[in-house]
């Protein structure tokens, strides 16, 4: 039996080269820009939109919203419509600051032309002539490689006016973020891109109608966009058949913590936690056992060893009581303290709160204060009630955005699954995982 080419089974990563990414000639020699050429010459924007909708591509940034549905909310007008907006914008969210997540960095550094090609197709589909890659400020190498690839694309007539002899034009810019985790929220990102304080906007209006500078704007994640050229080249059915379940395509999964082989792997959407952790990450380091894990970055609920056979897709992880998020496993072993781990995460979220709403601004530092007291052996049983109350105080529907609810997800689940550990801290008046106890 002939092996299936990696380009068809690992479309996102088969050209990744972290040492030296392909230049534009090398990328084109491997089939690069064929999807963009097909879109610009053979498809209308509506036909591309229909293809993406048919493929059932869902957002890979954490929310899992259908990409075609999101794009369809952008006002589409004919060229002679006097009410047509003068500008539309496409923004790539490359502000990857979720702890335990590093998949986008690999794509940005390892195959920058793939993202550029994806943005050409996406901008053509929604009628945008200006696009931005909003990148995490610390990603210096990624920004440098992206700019080099963009310069090559301009010289090769893949960016600028009359792209490849068509009437479509696109200006593409790299914008390095000034920082803050909240910039990953799309409306906070838009505010930051406008030079304003990075606070989330009230919705509606949604960015698809009124986004960057008040114009229709689509914001998509790096991994989400990177699928677009391959869907154009190979079709919607091919994309759906990559996965054994209803969540189509592949997913870049990661694992961090005390595992033997921390890293990233592109697998069919729905690979089980067990497969990612034991087959690809090599299991836990010698002498350690699995106590729990966060399945999709720091702002997801803990799952337990009993969940190892759960498929890592949006629905299955949701039914297990957590969220797929970014697909990056953060492993908690039996030699590490769950209270200390949650405290570490909450310190991050408290620091990164934009301070706009009271539950997040005051609630996250309060949680840190209580958890610190418990971790030091100075807590009381009443503190556990306080933590549960704070989780409710900061939950969905009670805050301006999803930062605080995401921050308390690991805390809520830790209080449920590792309640004995919290009580031992209080009863023994010390951390039972600390050396000497």
Q: Class of the 6-241 domain? A: alpha beta
Q: Count helices and strands (H / E) in the chain.
A: 19, 8
Is domain 338-428 in CATH 3.30.1330.30, yes or no? no
CA dihedral 354, 359, 364, 367 (to 10 degrees): 170
Task: Reply yes or no on whether the pLDDT at 75 is more than 90.
Answer: no
Strands 263-268 and 250-256: what pairing? antiparallel
Residue indicated by tokens 């090609």: 117
Average confidence (pLDDT) over 393-418: 94
Residues above pLDDT 90, as percent of the chain: 89
Average confidence (pLDDT) over 14-34: 97
Task: Reply yes or no on whether the pLDDT at 402 is more than 80.
Answer: yes
Confidence grade of residue 338 (pLDDT, cut at 50, 70, 90): very high
Average confidence (pLDDT) over 212-230: 97
Average confidence (pLDDT) over 122-136: 96
Task: Reply yes or no on whether the pLDDT at 337 is more than 70.
Answer: yes
Measured CA to CA, the distance from residue 400 to residue 356 in angstroms comes to: 7
Confidence grade of residue 81 (pLDDT, cut at 50, 70, 90): low
Residues above pLDDT 70, as percent of the chain: 97
Q: What is the pLDDT of residue 83?
A: 59
Task: Reply yes or no on whether the pLDDT at 421 is more than 60.
Answer: yes
Q: Do residues 125 and 48 make contact, with C-beta atoms less than 8 angstroms apart?
A: yes
For the stretch 98-116, pLDDT in tens is: 999 999 999 999 999 999 9
Task: Reply yes or no on whether the pLDDT at 87 is more than 50.
Answer: yes
Tokens of 308: 């190892």
| Mean pLDDT for the chain overall | 94
Strands 263-268 and 171-176: what pairing? unpaired
For the stretch 313-336, pLDDT in tens is: 999 999 999 999 999 999 999 999
Task: Reply yes or no on whether the pLDDT at 394 is more than 50.
Answer: yes
Tokens of 175: 């914008």
For the stretch 161-182, pLDDT in tens is: 999 999 999 999 999 998 889 9
CB atoms within 10 A of CB 240: 19
Measured CA to CA, the distance from residue 263 to residue 288 in angstroms comes to: 19
Q: What is the pLDDT of residue 1?
A: 38
CA dihedral 16, 19, 20, 21 (to 10 degrees): 20
Q: What is the pLDDT of residue 415?
A: 97
Does the pTM surpass 0.75? The reply is: yes
Task: Reply yes or no on whether the pLDDT at 196 is more than 70.
Answer: yes
Task: Reply yes or no on whether the pLDDT at 80 is more than 80.
Answer: no
Q: Class of the 250-333 domain? A: alpha beta
E strand or H helix at 276, and its extent? none
The residue extents of the domains of the chain are: 6-241, 250-333, 338-428
């Amino acid at each position: 039996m002939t092996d299936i080419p990696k380009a068809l089974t690992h479309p996102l990563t088969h050209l990744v080269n972290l040492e030296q990414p392909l230049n534009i000639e090398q990328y084109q020699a491997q089939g690069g820009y064929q999807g963009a050429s097909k879109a610009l010459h053979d498809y209308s924007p509506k036909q591309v939109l229909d293809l993406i909708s048919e493929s059932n591509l869902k957002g890979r940034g954490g929310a899992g919203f259908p990409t075609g549905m999101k794009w369809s909310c952008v006002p589409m007008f004919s060229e002679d419509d006097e009410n047509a907006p003068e500008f539309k914008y496409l923004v790539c969210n490359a502000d990857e600051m979720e702890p335990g997540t590093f998949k986008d960095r690999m794509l940005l550094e390892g195959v920058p032309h793939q993202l550029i090609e994806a943005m050409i197709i996406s901008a053509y589909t929604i009628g945008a002539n200006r696009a931005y890659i909003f990148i995490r400020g610390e990603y210096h190498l990624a920004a440098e490689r992206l700019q080099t690839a963009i310069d090559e694309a301009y010289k090769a007539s893949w960016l600028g006016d009359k792209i490849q002899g068509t009437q479509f034009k696109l200006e593409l810019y790299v914008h390095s973020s000034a920082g803050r985790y909240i910039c990953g929220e799309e409306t906070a990102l838009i505010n930051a891109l406008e030079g304003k304080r990075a606070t989330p906007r009230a919705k509606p209006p949604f960015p698809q109608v009124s986004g960057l500078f008040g114009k229709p704007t689509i914001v998509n994640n790096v991994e989400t966009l990177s699928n677009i050229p391959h869907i154009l080249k190979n079709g919607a059915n091919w994309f759906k058949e990559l996965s054994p379940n209803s969540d189509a395509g592949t997913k870049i999964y990661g694992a961090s913590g005390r595992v033997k082989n921390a890293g990233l792997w592109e697998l069919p959407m729905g690979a089980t936690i067990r497969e990612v952790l034991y087959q690809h990450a090599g299991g836990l380091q010698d002498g350690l056992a699995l106590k729990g894990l966060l399945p999709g970055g720091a702002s997801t609920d803990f799952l337990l060893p009993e969940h190892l056979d759960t498929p890592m897709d949006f629905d299955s992880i949701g039914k297990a009581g957590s969220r797929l998020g970014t697909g990056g496993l953060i492993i908690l072993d039996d030699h590490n303290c769950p209270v200390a781990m949650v405290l570490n995460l909450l310190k991050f979220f408290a620091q990164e709160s934009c301070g706009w709403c009271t539950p997040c601004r005051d609630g996250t530092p309060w949680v840190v204060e209580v958890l610190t007291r418990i971790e030091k052996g100075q807590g009381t049983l009443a503190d556990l009630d306080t933590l549960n109350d704070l989780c409710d105080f900061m939950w969905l529907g009670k805050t301006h955005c999803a930062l605080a609810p995401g921050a308390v997800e690991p805390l809520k689940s830790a209080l449920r699954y590792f309640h004995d550990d919290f009580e031992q801290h209080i009863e023994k008046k010390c951390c039972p995982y600390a050396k000497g106890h």
